Amino acid sequence: MTIYIWGNASRYENYQRAVELAGDQVQFGGDPEDCAALLLPGGGDLEPWRYGQKNTASRGLEPERDAAELALMEYFTTLRRPVLGICRGLQTVNVFFGGTLCQDISEHGACDGVDRRHRVRTATSPLQELCGETCVVNSAHHQAADRLGAGLQAIQWTDDGVIEALCHRTLPVWAVQWHPERLGKLGETVFQAFHSLCQ
């Protein structure tokens, strides 16, 4: 199966490698018609006006990407095709469904370019079957979901209450705030589960 990622291959090599290891291939850009699912990777912040706020701490804005990925969300969810959001991708999912973001939680960001690690607890869900009730994940984000969008539910949190994963109640839409594409075995299981969801 083919997974759609907006952008170019050189920027998302880790994601491509993880998708291919799970048995799928990636299409970068172009017409998504023949793609089974959408992957929203990490990156810069979304423009705050898209969730009704002024810019107080957002950086690395990517307006063209925001517009493209939100349009892709409309396309894939209308067709009820699976979506996996990672880091910024979780935030894109939340904003698409009408949610808001915390613009800065720097204590969860990478330190000197190295991912932080922290413990998370997972609610009863298919994700809990992959992670268990608690596990340790990587962290390299300075923003997070705040008010959840329509139809979304949080299914994983840090000890201080930051949402680390969510899903849609009726659509095949999942998102994690951490980076499974660089998290070894646990990360591989996430992409394998996404592969199964796409079948």
> What pairs with residue 77 in β-bridges?
none
Sketch out the chain's domains with CATH numbers.
Answer: 2-198 (3.40.50.880)
- 179 catalytically annotated: yes
Residue 115's pLDDT is what? 59
* 154-192 pLDDT per residue, tens: 999 998 899 999 999 999 999 999 999 987 888 899 999
Closest among 73, 74, 76 to 34, alpha carbons compared: 76
Q: Which of 35, 69, 87, 168 is catalytic?
A: 87
pLDDT tens string 185-194: 888 999 999 9
Query: Which of 131, 141, 168, 181 is labelled catalytic?
Result: 181
Given this model, what pLDDT does residue 88 score?
Answer: 96
Express each pLDDT in 113-130 by its tens digit: 555 777 899 999 999 998
- Work out the pLDDT band at 106, boundaries 50, 70, 90: low
Active site residue 188: no
Q: In the annotation, is 141 catalytic? A: no
Q: Of 141, 142, 179, 195, which residue is the catalytic one? A: 179
Cβ atoms of 193 and 157 closer than 8 Å: no
Whether pTM exceeds 0.85: yes
